[in-house]
Amino acid sequence: MPSERRTTGELLAASGAFAGDHDDLVECLEHSAVGIHVVDRTGMIVWVNPALCAALGRDADDCVGRHAAELHADAHVFTDMWSQLRAGEPVPARAARLRGAAGACDVVLSASPGHDPHGALVGARFCARGPATPTGIAALVAEAPLGIVRARLDGTILAVNPAVCDLLARPAAELVGCDLFALTHPDDRQLDQDKFAQLCAAQIRSYVLTRRMLRGDGSLVWTRLHAAVARDGGGEPQFWFGLVEDIDARHRAEEDRRRHERQYEILTRLSPVGIFLGAAEAECVFVNAEWSRITGRTLPEVRGGAWRRALHPDDAARVIAGCRRAFAEGQPFSGEWRMLRPDGTTVWVLGQFAEVPDGSAHKHYVGTITDITDRVRAELDRARLAVIVENAADALFLLNHDGTVAIWNPGAEKLLGHTGAEIRGRFIGDLVPGHGSEVQAAMRRVLAGDVVREIEAQVRRDDGSLIGVTVTACPVHDGEGHVSAISVILHDVTELKEIEQALRTSEARFRALVEVSTQIVWTTDPTGAAVEDSPGWRAFTGQTYEELRGWGWVNAIASEDRARVIAEWKAACAGREPFRSEYRLRRADGSYAVTEVRAVPMLGPGGVVREWVGASVDVSDQRRVAEQREALVADLRRAMHYQEMFMAVLGHDLRSPLSAILMATSLGLRRRPDDRMRRVLQQIASSGQRMLRMIEQLLDVTRIRAAGGLEVRPTRADLAAICRTIIDEQHQANPAARIVLDARGETVGTWDVDRLSQMASNLIGNAIQHAEGAPVATAQVDGRDPALVRFIVHNRGVIAPEMLGAIFDPFQRAAKDSTKTAGLGLGLYITEQIALAHGGSVAVESTRTGGTYFRVELPRHPKPATLSPPGARDEEGVPLLRGDVVG
């Protein structure tokens, strides 16, 4: 295996054989006549050469993997040499006997150690030579399969073996005594001499050189030289020797391969088709420039299986399946499919796959793609054109030179009411009665290369009726530019004529409408100048047509408004924006009327203004009505302002005497009067408290109206605790009442304690007051939502449906004509204002079966509400009452 050869070569190089490529070293020693075996650091044999196997009569498998001592008949000889190697001592050559298959054989055994870069022993090389006799040495040299050359240090050849003579086709007598470098090709001679000089100067231990040598007939032969210097015991160089290997056939084969590769590279680079190579294991391994141009993807982007991403998703499965069948069955695969470029565009290709047999077990393939996008698009265009022609509503004909019909479409049969057999071969002029001479003239123009456009004519159907058409004819040229046929299109304009007639009728109606309209309708050109007459304008202003033409119409505008109107009108015309304005226009009697004017641009093709259409309306009466309305609204505002002042003064002035009455009543109750007097005093106190609540409510309404809403002072508060306090107060005032409190979750938030107490008192008090039967109510505080706290009050009472929509309006009572009802009807209104001031809301739901629910939702930590300013009004000028919280 190559890896084993590499490892062995590294071990041989470490043992000091020579410098050079490790594979070359192994290959050289495999051909050596000297028996060689290599051992690792444990003495185990890892490699033997053929010469040793031949000398011992053993196979390489019989030697490799055994300890080297097992090959020695005298084991102590190997043991001593191995001990010297491990100790780092010099190991002189020794006589030894090796165990052969047929018995022991005498050899001269030498060894050289191999060390790693740190100097540690990694193995050794043992060389077994025959006894050092001239006859034995000569036999080894003569029988060596490699050429062996020995030369002086000046380059004079001393001896060569037969292999060198055969290689160079020269006799030994011609070579011995010859200059060693005279056998080297002149182009390689300098490098050969440089290496020889370095070797003799001990700059290198050995070298390997690929060079050309000159044969006796003048031809060249490629060789590989393995060279070293033989030294004496003192290390002095004695002579140069080299092993010469014939690599001519291999080198020429390599040259042929390189030439073929260069030719293939040029072919793929210049090829008009995209080419790629692949292997069944590694997929795509090469693409040429045309393949990359077609697909927009380079080799690194498609290497391996990534080329599949270049396939269009709709075709990928079909192409991949076809490639797999080609690999499995060894048959070519071809087809048309789409490639998807990285920019999203699609390219149609004609693709082919074919296996490339190379005699190995691995499958290789070559593929090509040809860009056929233009052809496919042309075919699609022809198909689309055929569909268009087939389904066209117009009649299409292809005429011969003499004007007879050669080809027609279904639209022609439908338009004429004739079958194909009735149309074929007929002169086109016969289909257009009364226009024969015009048709003849048109045919002559078309044959001369002109195009005849939209000649108006009539054609006769098979039922005898005539229909209006336009005739368009153009020449059809052949590949040489000559007119080979005539194309004719008959377009039915019957409906268009009807539309034109309808348009003329519509325009007449429009003009009639303008003439009788109370509005002044007018038109101008794109620049804003009047070019058409406007009867309405003339009737209103008294101007004549000559006076209003151009920009004369502006003279009818009041002089104070004229400059402004002209500037506004020119700006609208320049910006092509709809125009709206108001100005005073002089009547025919000389008085002025306030007119409201609007105009819009009429756009033509390309968005170009074709004309302006406008209308002027006399709004003088409307302005008078609006002024009267403003006066009435002002009177209403003053009345409401006085009313608010009255309520504020009334509430403030009543509190002082009422407070005196309550204090006197309280003092009288403390003096322990009799029962009759106590009942009178308690009645007075109850009535006084009710009057005080009414006054407080009136003052709250005044504050809401004047300040735009209730003022709140938020602080940390517990709504459940507030409700418990209110419930206790309700029990004291009404011992018969039963109020159930249901608190859930966290009921603490940031609110105004006094206002929430007022809200809870209003809702719970109403629930007790308006409960049907026994005074029973339920109050629930739900704080399970982290953002909101909900307060729900329920009783079994019912609110009339017609009252629900206005129940939160001021001075509205939940139940009309009820003996339980007392007060001004402000409690629920103030309750809603309290909820709104906290950023919350309140809603009511009342049914006969479920009773009445008041649901309040309060943000746990509300943002301060943005209130409308004092005296704010809505769009109609009415003071804000319910919608006072505006943010």
Neighbours of 756 (CB within 10 A): 24
pLDDT at 18: 36
Residue in 601, 603, 617, 612 with CA at minimum distance from that of residue 532: 612
Q: Any idea which residue has 């109370």 for tokens? A: 518
Residue in 16, 15, 52 with CA at minimum distance from that of residue 37: 52
Q: Name the pairing type of β-strands 776-783 and 738-745.
A: parallel
pLDDT at 857: 94
Give the 3-state secondary structure of 806-871. Answer: CCCCCCCCCCCCCCCCCCCCCHHHHHHHHHHHCCCEEEEEEECCCEEEEEEEEECCCCCCCECCCC
pLDDT at 644: 61
- Asked if the model's pLDDT at residue 248 lies above 60, the reply is yes
Tokens representing 641? 């302002």
Who contacts 577 (Cβ-Cβ below 8 Å, separation ≥6)?
601
List, as one string, the DSSP characters of 93-108: -EEEEEEETTEEEEEE
Interval 189-216: pLDDT, tens: 999 889 888 888 888 888 888 889 999 8
Contact 83, 105 (CB under 8 A): no
pLDDT band at 400; cut points 50, 70, 90 = confident
Q: Is 607 left (phi over 0), alpha (psi -120 to 50) or beta?
A: left
Highest mean pLDDT range out of 296-310, 452-466, 859-873? Answer: 296-310
Instruction: State the amino acid at position 729 in one-letter form.
Output: E
pLDDT band at 101; cut points 50, 70, 90 = confident
Distance CA 569, CA 522 (A): 14
pLDDT band at 121; cut points 50, 70, 90 = confident
- What one-character DSSP code corresponds to residue 449? T
Instruction: State the amino acid at position 613 in one-letter form.
Output: V
- Asked if the model's pLDDT at residue 814 lies above 60, the reply is no
Lowest mean pLDDT among 171-185, 325-339, 395-409: 395-409
Mean predicted confidence (pLDDT) in 595-606: 84
pLDDT band at 718; cut points 50, 70, 90 = very high
Interval 10-41: pLDDT, tens: 555 544 433 344 555 666 667 666 788 888 88
Distance CA 853, CA 798 (A): 10
> Exposed, middle or buried by CB within 10 Å (0-12, 13-18, 19+), for 392?
middle
Residue in 84, 76, 9 with CA at minimum distance from that of residue 49: 9
Neighbours of 113 (CB within 10 A): 20
How far are the Cα atoms of 18, 153, 208 from residue 204, in angstroms, in the given order?
9, 15, 11
Backbone angles phi, psi at 566, to 5 degrees: -60, -45
How far are the Cα atoms of 340, 526, 579, 609, 774 from residue 570, in angstroms, in the given order?
55, 10, 10, 14, 79
Per the prediction, the chain carries an average pLDDT of 78
C-alpha dihedral, 209 to 210 to 214 to 220, nearest 10°: 180
Mean predicted confidence (pLDDT) in 595-621: 83
pLDDT at 625: 75
Neighbours of 314 (CB within 10 A): 11
Higher pLDDT, 706 or 219: 219
> Exposed, middle or buried by CB within 10 Å (0-12, 13-18, 19+), for 165?
middle
Q: Is 871 left (phi over 0), alpha (psi -120 to 50) or beta?
A: left
- The pLDDT > 90 percentage for the chain reads 9
pLDDT band at 821; cut points 50, 70, 90 = very low
Who contacts 463 (Cβ-Cβ below 8 Å, separation ≥6)?
417
Tokens representing 663? 């204090």
Distance CA 826, CA 701 (A): 8
Q: Is 823 left (phi over 0), alpha (psi -120 to 50) or beta?
A: left
pLDDT band at 854; cut points 50, 70, 90 = very high
Lowest mean pLDDT among 214-223, 250-259, 560-569, 664-673: 664-673
* CA dihedral over 70, 72, 75, 79, signed as positive or negative: negative
Strands (E), 169-295: 206-214, 220-231, 237-246, 274-279, 283-287
- Alpha-helical runs (H) found in 417-558: 420-423, 436-447, 494-516, 535-541, 545-548
Helix, strand, coil distribution of the chain in percent, nearest 5: 45, 30, 30
Highest mean pLDDT range out of 65-79, 488-502, 636-650, 831-845? Answer: 831-845
Interval 524-539: pLDDT, tens: 888 888 888 888 888 8
